[in-house]
Amino acid sequence: MTQTVKLDIMSDPICPWCYIGKTHLDKALAAVPDHPFVIEWHPFQLNPDMPDAGMDRREYLERKFGGKDGAVRAYAPVVEHAANAGLKIDFEGMKRTPNTLDAHRLIHWAGIEGKQNAVVDALFTAYFVDARDIGDTEVLADIADSVGMDAAVVRKLLQSDADREDIRTRDTHSRQMGVNSVPTYIVANQHAVPGAQPPDLWEKVISDIMSQLEASPAE
């Protein structure tokens, strides 16, 4: 039996570095199709105190970065790295910054159905490419439908309190473990890899892990 290695990813679907980081990781995984990683996505809200309905994006940026100029400076490296990764982010089209608790609930439910990666991809595309409000129940139900989940069930769950406290508890647990920024990757429950690392670093990590697994075959 092929040995597997757990790769836990702390992420938020409105974090541009998480989007860039996933693109880099996916490129490395595609280059090494027999990689040992089993991936699980975990909740980490960049803005845990965001109002449930989200916030006007301009107001959010002015609060966080002290105005438009501050936001432009803060996002300049994001734009550069996104372009280098072959990604185009529609910052101009974004009108609201959402509360991501419901998006994290959807990611959690997708995990139960083995569709986490597809939902994470769809959330990133919806927010960064299509400038959709991923705090909106109908948008999330549509995303669920697009990956083969039951939109009606997801809509009903989103309208309830199902798993709200679980997501908050898991988010808090990550912070207590020392995670203070995303993306953060935990390899084999031992090694933390912070930030949007380039594909060649991930290919080296995968190569090192596979060498170690070959040196100590499973009994």
* 204: amino acid identity, one letter: K
**Is residue 2 over pLDDT 80?**
no
Check residue 166 and give its pLDDT: 98
Report DSSP letters for the chain, one per residue. Answer: ----EEEEEEE-TT-HHHHHHHHHHHHHHHHSTT--EEEEEEE--S-TT--TT-EEHHHHHHHHHSSHHHHHHHHHHHHHHHHHTT----TTT--EE---HHHHHHHHHHHHTT-HHHHHHHHHIIIIIS---TTSHHHHHHHHHHTT--HHHHHHHHTTTTTHHHHHHHHHHHHHTT--SS-EEEETTTEEEES---HHHHHHHHHHHHHHHHHS---
Domains and CATH numbers, the chain: 5-215 (3.40.30.10)
Residue owning tokens 């083969």 = 148
**44 contacts 9 by C-beta, under 8 angstroms:** no
If you average pLDDT over every residue of the chain, what do you get?
A: 95
CA–centroid distance for 181 within its chain: 12
**Is residue 137 over pLDDT 80?**
yes
**What is the Cα–Cα distance from 60 to 76, expressed in whole angstroms?**
17
Using 50, 70 and 90 to split pLDDT, how confident is the model at 201? Answer: very high
**Is residue 1 over pLDDT 50?**
no
Q: What pLDDT digit, counting tens, does each position of 81-94 carry?
A: 999 999 999 999 99
Check residue 218 and give its pLDDT: 56
Q: What pLDDT digit, counting tens, does each position of 22-50 carry?
A: 999 999 999 999 999 999 999 999 999 99
In angstroms, the first-to-last Cα distance of the chain is: 10
Q: What pLDDT digit, counting tens, does each position of 94-121 carry?
A: 999 999 999 999 999 999 999 999 999 9
Classify strands 5-11 and 37-43 as parallel, antiparallel or unpaired. parallel
Q: Is the pTM of this model over 0.85?
A: yes
Q: What pLDDT digit, counting tens, does each position of 50-85 carry?
A: 999 999 999 999 899 998 789 889 999 999 999 999
CA–centroid distance for 178 within its chain: 18
Check residue 35 and give its pLDDT: 97
CA–centroid distance for 16 within its chain: 9
